[in-house]
Structure 1
Amino acid sequence: MRAHQRPSLADATRGRILFGGDHNPEQWPEETWHEDVRLMKEAAVNSVTLGVFSWAKLEPRPGAREFGWLDRLMDLMHDHGVGVVLATPTSSPSPWMGRLHPETLPRDAEGRTEWWGSRQHFSHSSAVYRRYAAAITDDLAARYAGHPALTMWHINNEYCTYDYGDEAAAAFRRWLQDRYQTLDALNHAWGTAFWGQGYDRWSEILPPRHAHYMKNPTQVLDFRRFTSDMLLECFVAERDIVRRHTPHIPVTSNFMPLWAGQDAWRWAREEDVVSVDLYPDPRDPLGAQYGALVQDMTRSQAAGGPWMLMEQAAGAVNWRGVNHPRPRGLNRLWSLQAVARGADAVCYFQWRQSRQGAEKFHSAMVGHAGERGRTFQEVRQLGAELAVIGPEVAGTRITADVAVLHDWNSWWAGEHDGRLSQEVDYPEVLRAWHRALWEAHLTTDFAHPEQDLSAYRLVVAPQPYLLTDAAIDNLLAHVRDGGTLVCGFLAGVADEDDRVRPGGMDARLRELFGIRTLHEWWPLDAGESAECDGFRGTLWSEELEAEDDAVVEAGYKGGELDGLPAVLRRGTAWYLSTLPEPDALRALLTGVADRAGLRPVLEGLPDGVEAVRRGALLFLLNHRPDAVTVEVPGRHRDLLTGDLVTGSVLLERHGAVVLQP
């Protein structure tokens, strides 16, 4: 590998699909380890993640190092052909750290300390925590840099810590000084003239701790940005250490899907491999659509390249109100869905189900029923199938003509306590728009509003509340260059400081969509709807006055907004001032896509059947509760069975085929 090249997932997969999961053998006697590798071989497992929560085992007291058990594990995995994704154990500090250094423990907005006894009990801003984390990471990387089992580094685990303590407050002030330079600039950005909040000294500024009433929205927004950046600093510090020892080994850290605490666009640029943990509810009738959304987003964060499904459940989880197992076939179906949408690694939490601890009822590849259990039998089948299709699919890409815009800053700003409607939930609005495209069998990427959109003929922006000037110029350029834009309600309301733009929507956007005046926002109550021409709107409505040359594609019917535009278009720029019900939104976006010259992956698909093209392969996935026959033009070979498919194929309940022309 040339010195200027960064390693990638391909360096770990080597033309295969990685298959395995978190392995926590320190919970078990060593004789179990040999049983584990026997079963791994049966299930075609080729990758395990070691050491995620092993800090207390590796460093039982300050400065001690006990690597012998990990040496034996690394050797055992290599001897049996299983690669190791080696984790830094820094997400769960040893109890001695909190006891000796209480300043390393985070505090919540109420001032309460988060004590050891769980996990993620560290302050991202603590110099002591960072020093200990760097030391254990450095020693770990130095010891295993040359080990032949090492295929990837996994830094920390599910970064998700907020901290409102004193050390975090000092770091927040430094972050703000770097961002704003002067107090005058900060006071202007935060609008501190309201409620007499003006700051005279940097030392007066605190994190948005518990307050008598609503907090300053821009202070809260900046604290979200700061938290993401501080956690990223922790990741980068450990990443740079392992890179120094092993520049040829790729580095990752696992995202939690649609978690509000990380700006994953920024984070993904710092990773060699983008990975995610994904746990759809098996009882959710739209669980597959949620999975597709997360997979599309993760692939997009990986710049369209392969990505890693770091964690999923082989059966039930243990943190919902009622934790249901996966029905027969669903584990296989959802795993193949991830591969269809770009995953080159399919992994689980965890390999063997724990008998003690907080997650002893969380499923695993080897459950409490052991190797005779249904879960392991299904895992073994999946491993065999992934071994077959891996050489045909690994490294291939997915082409999308549609982009869904998503920005964490807009999400953060739009969910402040003082907003007009608590019923409007950004992730649910995002999911509604993606669902419409998914059900229309239109392959979608996600994109940041400021990124190059020239590859997409259709761009949809479900709820772009906060848009920078650069983002607005980018959207204008997309339409000017012949692209189609469909924008949802509350668009361009605020600038990057969460300051409402004059007119309640940026003037450039009003001109783009043909809006003369935005008079009022009319949020809808829970269960309330707005009658429109041909459909009902939900969540929201707006009192708009259209320009003479704008086309009113649908108007409101009855009530205060009778006769006013609900859906407005000027050229190829569409504006939806409400959220149409699911069928109506799908029909609208399908019609817009058709005008833009876009076609579904496969025509005439039954409801509940998903079709995805990855490279030359066509994945057909049946999410229906019954079997269904799908018409497939031409002749194909099903890679999963070797059967020839001509004209049509029968998909069993939770069935799947992978067709090669």
Structure 2
Amino acid sequence: MQQLRLLHGGDYNPEQWLDRPDILAQDIELMKKAHVNTVTLGVFSWSTLEPQEGVFELDWLADIIHNLYANGIYTILATPSAARPAWMAHQYPEVRRVRADRVRELYNRRQNYCYTSPVYREKVRIIDQKLAQRFGNDPAVLLWHISNEMSGDCHCELCQAAFRRWLKARYNSLEALNKAWNARFWSHDYTAWEQIESPAPQGENAVQGLALDWKRFVSDRHIDFLKFERDTVKEFAPVAKFTVNMMYRFDGIDYFKMSKEIDVASWDNYPTWHKPSETVEETALDTALMHDLYYSMKGRPFLLMESSPSFTNWQPISKQKRPGIAELAALQTVAHGSDSVLYFQWRASRGAEEKLHGAVIGHDGREDARPFRETVGVGQKLEVLSEIATVCRKKQAAIVHDWENKWALEGSCGPRNAGMGYWDELKLHYNALAREGIAVEFVNQESDLTGYGLVVVPMVYLLTDAFAQKLCDFARNGGTVVVTYWTGVVDESDLCRLGDTPYGLTDLLGLRRTEIDGMYDGETCRCTPMDDSTLPETQASVLCEVASLNDTDPATPLSVYAEDYYVNCPAVAVHSYGEGRAYYLASRFDEAFYRAFYRAAVKEVGLTPAWPEALPDGVLAARRGTFVFVQNCNEHPVEVGGVALNRYGTAVWKNGEQVL
């Protein structure tokens, strides 16, 4: 992908306005006023591109692409597979998904095709070939956008057969499969491959190895479909670059694995600003976490593919962004490694599901409306910051986020079926580091840990042998590891590890887990620091692990439980290991604890914050290369470094000189 500047623009749906050439002409003029340089086309255009089977109409798309290009606007071209035409669903029922209850869906909505269907793949291949033949080497096309927000699963007979083939390839024999699934439990041994079905509400749901493998299979099916589309386009456009838009906290696809098959990661960001239960800073931190996650997919700049310029219409409450929030969010995106600020949608649709969704241009078509004016302002600032395009962030700290671990953790029965709060745990560690101005990346168990000073291992319930060794090597060579409760419990098949746990980490931590106690919602246990510790008194919640120090080379407790039968057992401990050290957190603590813990850890490890001084509450700083962004998430002005920041204001420095 030719990357000359920060991309600004978004989803454009001219197929909805082909009968209004005046509106199409107005769009071009308004895009130029808004400093738009890129639009995404074709995401939901299949019924216009192929209104009848085998009848293709691409001239209108060519006219749009080339008119945009003549006005300095590039195209990100989507393959239209996310939403098939009605004629196809009617004529070929197999393309419609079958739900987990084994009922085939009627024609409806989007992202609900059978990814295994040979018919569907053939129809997708044909339309993708037509697009690639026409636009594959067109200089106006900057990037190819494969499908849209891939998601969901299909339980049809085609997918059942594909699942069994996938299992045969993974296990080679039923004996190995039964052992991996511990299928002898409740007498569930399988004696023929045909006996195996995907999980169902009226079927098997007690064999967690089956459920875990089904999630792996579904993820692999989506990735296989992505590769199929990508390779179809590449037949006619060998130098084309590809992306697929990922989603906030989406559980159904291993995005680390998917990202290996694309050239640039991208995601769709729709935070709920101004929630009664959350400050603007907390919403900004939650968003920053996701930006850093998608930066981590490739370890280099990503694209923000979708965001609302004002509000959504599918969340419980459609809350308008207050003045200044659109700019705050856009510049935060760039600060955390994005090379784009793209919106859904450019012009509001007149009807159907998203007619009331926010857009740069509303139904009134006015350029003096606030969303348009704020979009103009963002575009101007992105041009000032154009030199930041392609600049990477310095490695400092990493947090382990592994999709297979999350699937296994949340699929397990016990020890807290009321919810383990996986994302809540990650946020506590992330927020504390981000408030210190530390660049955070996310890794999975296959990642290389080289270059990080600190690695956080939160609730890595499914821990592989290789990653346990990798953590030990990291600490031995001078790194700092933070391991939380409920880590190192099971293997890749969700089988409990035998022997001392956390599995593979007892020597690293200088202790072993002996018991785990689930806590009721609202229940806490007081923890007190040791006399020589700088940690604050805190409250433990969710789960309390009881640990016993090793007989030889034991860990040093920094804080202990002060209540219940585990009084005086370590709640927090540290252990020197080789040239580095490892911390053990036996429970989930309050926010103040993590602020204090990571403030000390950052200094101990020698990580350099983005801003050299303590920032006022509600102010966040992030570094990207030689650029430093400081953002005021408060509703009142603050002063930082002699610069006055208005409500929701942002200041940017490059090499110490203010540029924004």
Q: Tell me the TM-score range normalised by the shorter chain.
A: over 0.9
Matched, 1:550 2:555: yes
- Per the alignment, residue 640 of structure 1 pairs with none
The letter for the 2-side match of 1:319 is W
Q: Which residue, out of 164, 175, 178, partners 2:166?
A: 175
* CA distance in structure 2 between the aligned counterparts of 1:121 and 1:267, rounded to whole angstroms: 19
5 Å-filtered alignment, 1:409-558, equals: 409-416=404-411, 418-421=413-416, 422-503=418-499, 505-516=501-512, 518-533=513-528, 534-548=537-551, 549-558=554-563
5 Å-filtered alignment, 1:77-156, equals: 77-156=68-147
* CA distance in structure 1 between the aligned counterparts of 2:502 and 2:385, rounded to whole angstroms: 49
Shift in Å, 1:506: 4.3
The letter for the 2-side match of 1:539 is V
Q: Which residue, out of 558, 561, 564, partners 1:559?
A: 564
- Per the alignment, residue 295 of structure 2 pairs with 299
- Per the alignment, residue 605 of structure 2 pairs with 596
Q: Which residue, out of 646, 653, 657, partners 1:659?
A: 653
SS in 1 for 2:253: coil
* CA distance in structure 2 between the aligned counterparts of 1:490 and 1:361, rounded to whole angstroms: 44
Indicate the percent of aligned positions where both proteins have the same amino acid.
36
SS in 2 for 1:541: strand
* CA distance in structure 2 between the aligned counterparts of 1:477 and 1:580, rounded to whole angstroms: 28
Q: Contact 2:296–2:442 (CA<8 Å) still a contact in 1?
A: yes
Task: Kindly provide the CA deviation profile for residues 360-408 of structure 1, in whole angstroms up to 9, marking residues without a partner as x.
Answer: 1110111234322101000011111111211x21111110311111100
SS in 2 for 1:322: coil
Q: Contact 2:464–2:491 (CA<8 Å) still a contact in 1?
A: yes
Q: Contact 1:21–1:351 (CA<8 Å) still a contact in 2?
A: yes
Output the TM-score relative to the length of structure 1.
0.93
* CA distance in structure 2 between the aligned counterparts of 1:95 and 1:201, rounded to whole angstroms: 39
Shift in Å, 1:504: 6.4
5 Å-filtered alignment, 1:156-175, equals: 156-175=147-166
Q: How many residues end up aligned between the 2 structures?
A: 631
Q: Contact 1:494–1:505 (CA<8 Å) still a contact in 2?
A: no
Q: Contact 1:512–1:570 (CA<8 Å) still a contact in 2?
A: yes
Shift in Å, 1:116: 2.0
Matched, 1:21 2:17: no
Matched, 1:315 2:310: yes
5 Å-filtered alignment, 1:23-102, equals: 23-28=12-17, 29-102=20-93
Q: Which residue, out of 348, 351, 354, partners 1:353?
A: 348
Q: Contact 2:205–2:211 (CA<8 Å) still a contact in 1?
A: no
Q: Contact 1:552–1:569 (CA<8 Å) still a contact in 2?
A: yes
* CA distance in structure 1 between the aligned counterparts of 2:219 and 2:58, rounded to whole angstroms: 32
* CA distance in structure 2 between the aligned counterparts of 1:166 and 1:610, rounded to whole angstroms: 52
After superposition, the CA RMSD in angstroms is 1.4
Shift in Å, 1:99: 1.0
SS in 1 for 2:347: coil
The letter for the 2-side match of 1:576 is L
Shift in Å, 1:409: 0.3
Output the TM-score relative to the length of structure 2.
0.93
SS in 2 for 1:346: strand
Task: Kindly provide the CA deviation profile for residues 466-496 of structure 1, in whole angstroms up to 9, marking residues without a partner as x.
Answer: 0111111111111111110001110010111
Cα 1:396–1:507 change in 2 (3 A) is closer
Shift in Å, 1:248: 2.5
Q: Contact 1:365–1:376 (CA<8 Å) still a contact in 2?
A: yes
* CA distance in structure 1 between the aligned counterparts of 2:448 and 2:544, rounded to whole angstroms: 31
* CA distance in structure 2 between the aligned counterparts of 1:598 and 1:66, rounded to whole angstroms: 57
Shift in Å, 1:425: 2.1
Q: Contact 1:124–1:161 (CA<8 Å) still a contact in 2?
A: no
* CA distance in structure 1 between the aligned counterparts of 2:53 and 2:204, rounded to whole angstroms: 43
Q: Contact 1:93–1:121 (CA<8 Å) still a contact in 2?
A: no
- Per the alignment, residue 369 of structure 2 pairs with 373
Cα 1:122–1:374 change in 2 (3 A) is same
- Per the alignment, residue 644 of structure 1 pairs with none
Task: Kindly provide the CA deviation profile for residues 127-175 of structure 1, in whole angstroms up to 9, marking residues without a partner as x.
Answer: 1111111111011110112333111100100000211221111110111
Task: Kindly provide the CA deviation profile for residues 65-87 of structure 1, in whole angstroms up to 9, marking residues without a partner as x.
Answer: 11122122112111211100010
SS in 2 for 1:540: strand
Shift in Å, 1:417: 5.4
Unpaired stretches in structure 1, ≥5 consecutive residues: 1-7, 632-647
SS in 1 for 2:339: strand
Q: Which residue, out of 575, 582, 586, partners 2:595?
A: 586
